[in-house]
Structure 1
Amino acid sequence: MAYNDFDEVVFSPGIPLRGTTGGPSFNTSVLTTQSGKEYRQQNWKFSRGSWDLGGRTLREVETQEIVAFFQARGGMARGFRFKDFSDYKDNGNGRIGRVGNNNVMASTIDGSTFYNMFKQYNSAGQLYYRRIYKPVNNKIIVKKGGVLVPIGMGAGQCQIDYTTGIVRLTPIKRLHIQSIAKDDQGTITTDTAHSLTDGERVGLNVPSVPELHQRSFSIKVQNATKFTIYENTTDYSNYTGDGYAEQDDKGGQALTWEGEFDVPVRFNTDKIDFYFTEIVKYTNAPSAEVFCDLQTLPIVELKL
């Protein structure tokens, strides 16, 4: 089983989540001197959420649903989606930009076609950007310069990968890639002259090389049909001829989004603890119903 096995299913829409505890957390080391002064070291640049779904009484149908969901995930083995109702949407302040050092490098169109979704948090001018990996299908709208960008494959439209949070703008330039060299610079050769210039950005649409697929690069021109992406591709997957280098316009307009998102999580235990509370026999019912207390069921956010 792969380390990143993930099921695109939400836990668990039929079960009320009242009583769930948890939220985001950081990891900070605090050293206090004898004089009382503090020195703080932020060990995690980005928060990680954790929750406990236990502490509730379940009806029999709810118990069966949780058991089935837990069994299908193999305990901690497989990830899934979770809707954290304390923070599950953005009302128009969401940013779409490129990733650099796990943060937003640019939130305007720079010529690439592939961008990432972020939620921006602003408190007294202190900004924090959270990468959104699991947007909710049919719950997202994208705007360019404040104007709605339709979802689709046509000119002026965009596509959203709801499993990764990657937004692709339909390119105005699309160059078929002839080869991707396995070298320390990531040399790419196109079938035809590319007319690119040093420092321009391109998006790579190369499914056979997942290490490069749906990523954006600043390029260095080698000749009319060859450029490098400043990345060591020596040990990357073999290219099979299925890829394109893509460009959109360089208008510099802001890309934003609004809508709902889930959190990628896994169970943080391989065991469920139930406490059988009572058996109720209803009048005229064919069988009794068993009520169970779910003692604890912790989940933790996956850092993808």
Structure 2
Amino acid sequence: MAFHEISFPLRLSLTTRGGPERLTDVVSLTNGREARNRRFRHARRRYDVGSALRSVADLYAVLDFFEARAGRLHGFRFRDPVDFSSAPWGLNISPLDQRLGIGDGETASFRLVKVYGDPAAVEERPISKPVTGSVRVALDGVEQMAGFSVDAASGVVTFLAGHVPSEGVEIRAGFQFDVPVRFDTERIEIDLDAFRAGRIPSIPLIEVIP
């Protein structure tokens, strides 16, 4: 098993259906109350790219991609059509979008994250597949044009020697990102007559930890 640092065709991902899934165990108690426990620390995303196919050429593009990944064997990058940026929907990326941490004068590496929430609760999502060249970093509100590197395969920002954030310095970043996924099927059933008649095959994807 491996992860291929290659993206599912962007023109197809933009019209895909899907989104985050939570898995919560709910037990009804004898007093009428519920006991609830979540199984996953973070949401897991599912998509169906079959809904994006508009032509036979699209179908063959997905087939080619499916074969190159050996079906479910290898993971790949996928652009969520809605949630792909550190910035709020409709706004441009800013180096102040997301808080990565506070410097201590020694720690040089910080993982990219995206925070979701409201006054009642906050959830922090690790971002492991930033888009190359999209990451902008700020220290105490000042954008840094150099002095750091970004591992696009892990989502870790590392400050170079002489640029490690001092104690108390706030590290923030803005970026675009992909979702690491794999195919969640061992077969793609093709019926060209049905496809031309508007019947779309189901081609599910599921998020993975690369």
Sort the TM-score into its range (normalised by shorter chain): 0.7 to 0.9
Residue identity in the other structure for 1:264 = P
Tell me if structure 2 keeps the 8 A contact 1:145–1:255: yes
Residue identity in the other structure for 1:160 = V
**What's the CA shift string for 1:195-220, capped at 9, x where partnerless?**
xxxxxxxxxxxxxxxxxxxxxxxxxx
Partner of 2:98: 94
Cα distance in 2 for partners of 1:274, 1:16 equals: 20
Which of 107, 110, 113 in structure 2 is aligned with 1:118?
113
Partner of 1:10: 7
Alignment partner of 1:50: what SS? Answer: strand
Tell me if structure 1 keeps the 8 A contact 2:28–2:34: yes
Q: How does 1:9-28 map to 2 (within 5 A)?
A: 9-15=6-12, 17-18=14-15, 20-28=16-24
Which of 254, 268, 276 in structure 1 is aligned with 2:170?
254
Cα distance in 2 for partners of 1:25, 1:55 equals: 18
CA shift for structure 1 position 273: 1.9
Partner of 1:73: 69
Cα distance in 2 for partners of 1:28, 1:114 equals: 33
Tell me if structure 2 keeps the 8 A contact 1:121–1:128: yes
Cα distance in 1 for partners of 2:103, 2:175 equals: 21
Partner of 1:127: 122
1:9–1:39: structure 2 CA closer, same or farther, 3 Å change rule? same
| More helix as a share of residues | 2
CA shift for structure 1 position 13: 1.9
TM-score when normalising by structure 2: 0.87
1:15–1:43: structure 2 CA closer, same or farther, 3 Å change rule? closer
Partner of 1:277: 193
Aligned: 1:109 with 2:103: yes
Alignment partner of 2:66: what SS? Answer: helix
CA shift for structure 1 position 16: 5.9
TM-score when normalising by structure 1: 0.61
Alignment partner of 2:192: what SS? Answer: strand
Tell me if structure 2 keeps the 8 A contact 1:274–1:294: no
Tell me if structure 2 keeps the 8 A contact 1:273–1:294: no
| Unaligned segments of structure 2, at least 5 residues | 88-95
Cα distance in 2 for partners of 1:15, 1:84 equals: 11
Residue identity in the other structure for 1:169 = F
CA shift for structure 1 position 74: 0.4
**What's the CA shift string for 1:238-269, capped at 9, x where partnerless?**
xxxxxxxxx82423211111121000000001
Tell me which structure has the larger Cα radius of gyration.
Answer: 1
CA shift for structure 1 position 56: 5.3
Identity of aligned residues (%): 27
Cα distance in 2 for partners of 1:87, 1:55 equals: 18
Partner of 1:298: 204
CA shift for structure 1 position 63: 1.7
1:292–1:27: structure 2 CA closer, same or farther, 3 Å change rule? same
RMSD: 2.1
CA shift for structure 1 position 302: 0.6
Cα distance in 2 for partners of 1:67, 1:13 equals: 15
CA shift for structure 1 position 277: 2.9
Partner of 1:178: none
Aligned length in residues = 201
| More strand as a share of residues | 1
CA shift for structure 1 position 274: 2.3
| Runs of at least 4 residues off by over 6 Å | none
Tell me if structure 1 keeps the 8 A contact 2:53–2:59: no
